[in-house]
């Protein structure tokens, strides 16, 4: 399968090297276009007011992989790959393997998910992959599951255009309880800013906070209640697979507000 791989942790991140090399060694046609440095939590930002540069990278990946480092955002990288760098479109876009979770509402800020989302905006099915730890460095189990998932999609393509947001627990392969479909949960943060003073006496703020995971999703979303949330299954060492789309229209809202009447003079 022809694959495009990106990330938001940068070209030197262990996660993307492990993912790309594993899939190349499995015989897939792999291209990598990703940021030249850390670009986490950039969301779906695009570069509009300055040029975007991309340079080929050698000796960092498997010899069969063509790789570029781009000075733009994760979304820039995928858009540039699809419209300028690749000679033909990929069959699948993958983003990751991210260092850290992308669960619940975190996906709204995630550069990893946004890179994959750029794929489905361009009509290409996509996968975002995250290892749910900021310190664990063994990406092999996550890459092994990525290979299984790509094999599954090769044999049985997705029925509709969608993004699969995949989170893998940071444990050995033997400890993973399985993989399950999930719905998006909620992860909120409290005490978000830490107020500090620099050596010159100027106040600054450092974005931090404590995560809250037992927050119930808003009512009325019309999601199947018997499907567990991504946040829940992580606690039991399951791999979470959440299908996402980019259309954020609130269907219940359309129904509830359809009774509105606006009278103009």
Question: Using one digit for the tens of pLDDT, what is the confidence trace for 114-151?
Answer: 999 999 999 999 999 999 999 999 999 999 999 999 99
Q: Is residue 192 part of a domain?
A: no
- In this predicted structure, what is the pLDDT of residue 215? 63
CA gap 252, 65 in Å, rounded = 45
pTM confidence score: 0.92
Question: How many domains would you assign to the chain?
Answer: 1
Given a cut of 70, whether residue 4 has pLDDT beyond it is yes
Q: Is residue 130 part of a domain?
A: yes
CATH number at residue 135: 3.40.1210.10
Confidence of residue 242 (pLDDT cuts 50, 70, 90): very high
Q: Is residue 124 part of a domain?
A: yes
Q: Is residue 49 part of a domain?
A: yes
Q: Is residue 207 part of a domain?
A: no
Q: Is residue 13 part of a domain?
A: yes
- In this predicted structure, what is the pLDDT of residue 222? 66
pLDDT > 70 fraction of the chain, expressed in percent and rounded:
95
pLDDT, mean of residues 158-173:
97
- In this predicted structure, what is the pLDDT of residue 115? 97
Per the structure block, which two tokens stand in for 172? 């050995």
Q: Is residue 158 part of a domain?
A: yes
Between β-strands 2-6 and 29-35, what pairing exists: parallel, antiparallel or unpaired? parallel
pLDDT in tens, 13-43: 999 999 999 999 999 999 999 999 988 878 8
CA gap 176, 22 in Å, rounded = 19
Domain interval for residue 28: 2-184+224-256
Say which residue the tokens 């790959």 belong to: 81
Q: Is residue 236 part of a domain?
A: yes
């Amino acid at each position: 399968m022809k694959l495009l791989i990106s990330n938001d942790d940068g070209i030197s991140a262990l996660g993307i090297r492990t993912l790309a090399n594993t899939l190349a060694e499995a015989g897939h046609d792999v291209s990598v276009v990703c940021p030249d440095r850390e670009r986490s939590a950039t969301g779906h930002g695009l570069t509009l007011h300055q040029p975007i540069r991309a340079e080929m990278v050698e000796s960092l990946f498997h010899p069969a992989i063509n790789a570029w480092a781009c000075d733009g955002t994760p979304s820039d990288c995928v858009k540039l790959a699809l419209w300028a760098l690749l000679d033909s479109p990929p069959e699948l876009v993958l983003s990751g393997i991210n260092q850290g979770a992308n669960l619940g509402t975190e996906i709204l800020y995630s550069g990893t998910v946004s890179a994959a989302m750029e794929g489905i905006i361009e009509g290409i099915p996509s996968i975002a992959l995250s290892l749910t730890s900021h310190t664990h460095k063994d990406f092999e189990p996550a890459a092994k599951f990525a290979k299984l998932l790509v094999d599954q999609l090769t044999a049985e393509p997705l029925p509709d255009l969608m993004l699969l947001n995949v989170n893998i627990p940071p444990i050995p392969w033997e400890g993973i309880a399985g993989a399950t479909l999930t719905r998006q949960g909620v992860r909120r943060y409290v005490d978000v800013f830490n107020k500090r003073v620099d050596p010159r006496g100027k106040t600054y703020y450092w974005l931090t906070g404590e995560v809250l995971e037992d927050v119930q999703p808003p009512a009325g979303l019309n999601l199947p209640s018997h499907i567990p949330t991504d946040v829940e299954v992580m606690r039991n060492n399951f791999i979470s697979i959440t299908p996402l789309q980019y259309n954020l229209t609130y269907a219940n809202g359309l129904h509830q507000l359809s009774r509105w009447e606006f009278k103009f003079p």
